[in-house]
Amino acid sequence: MSILEVLQDANINLECYTDTKTALLPLATDFVNNAFTKVQAKKQLNNVIILLEKGYDINSNFNSIIDKYGSVEKAPDRVNGIFFKNKKKGK
């Protein structure tokens, strides 16, 4: 899944949340599912923003980055296709 696809998925999650938020929610499970959709969309957007700020391309493979580094926070910065180790704050 590319970063672009993650953005598109987050957009769908937010649309689903917005569509159901205005309707009456007769069951508690609907409320929980909608809250999860909103949280999931926020996480997806946050992850994408972090990777884009680190210099990854919109077509970079999101799943490969997560598989290799474990999280977007641990992924190294990237400038013009070159990876740089993350610098520790204060050093």
Tokens at 90, concatenated:
């204060």
**What are the tens digits of pLDDT across the range 59-80?**
999 999 999 999 999 999 987 7
pLDDT at 51 over 80: yes
CA distance 16 to 10: 10
The pTM (predicted TM-score) of the whole model is: 0.69
**H helix and E strand count, the chain:** 3, 2
Query: Are the beta carbons of 25 and 31 closer than 8 angstroms?
Result: yes
